Amino acid sequence: MKPGGVYHFAFMFPNACAVRLDYQRDKASMAELMPLLCPPFDLRKYQTILNQTGYECDLGPIIKENGILVLTTRAPLSDHESQDRRKVDRSNTQTEISILKHCFSPFFDNLSRSFQLLKEKFCGYLEQPAFAAIKFRLNVNGDIYSLQRRNLFYFENQVSEDYKKSVGNLILLQPSETMPRILAVWAPNGENNLVFCSLLRTGLWEKLNIDVMKDNRIAMVVFSTKLENRKQKADFSWIQEEIGYEVVLNVPVP
């Protein structure tokens, strides 16, 4: 069989002023992942699918050609229930509903801009149990604000004055009869997601030991960067510097 294509599933952003920057970061994150996907997939078949209201995407051809659907934005699983000011728009199409149900609902009880809550059955695999529930500082670019075990407060104020800590998530699922192969990679915001995708490209992918053609996997990585570098280098060149990280979850899923 010929190599399948890469299909970038892009969510919409409600704030018109932020659209250009959000999409630039989204595209930049996708570019960081491309060397990890091509091969085995065919870059010449690359397409962007916009998750727009009223537009249904036929996933059948992607399944048939053994391609991959890639998400580089946090899916709005729980945005409609949160009080967050900025949210990712839901299209409420059957395509979106199927992706959320298949790729995110099995792993998270809550997933919004300010909070993520891992399902209890995966909490036992965490290297640090406190990362079951994570609250983020919305006014400091998605820093971790507090950590919590399931049903038990554990730690607060994770971010120091000198270092910024955030969380990157990865879900990889192999194709089924109704859904294509899906790779979802995201962090709390576009800037941190670009950092996470850069880490994947520069060695983290190998450390997680991911086989994109065979694995069903969920991973969670905590990474740190110096605040002073972000303030001084607005062109994102600081993501090429050495960034410390810790893998807190990396397990196969049924």
Give residue-wise pLDDT tens across range 152-205. Answer: 665 555 555 555 788 999 999 999 999 999 999 999 888 888 889 999 999 999
Residues 6+ apart with CB under 8 A from 120: 109, 132, 150
Token reading at 203: 């060695």
Q: Alpha carbon 134 to chain centroid distance? A: 15
Residue 113 or residue 80, greater confidence: 113
pTM: 0.89
What's the farthest any 2 CA atoms get from each other in the chain? Answer: 53
| Closest by CA position to 194, among listed 250, 235, 134, 140 | 235
pLDDT tens digits along 6-64: 999 988 765 544 455 566 778 889 999 999 999 999 989 999 998 888 888 899 999 99
Q: b/e for 196-231, b at 16 or more Cβ within 10 A?
A: bbbbbeeebbeebebebeebebbbbbbbbbebeebe
Q: What is the mean pLDDT of residues 99-116?
A: 94
CA distance 237 to 247: 24
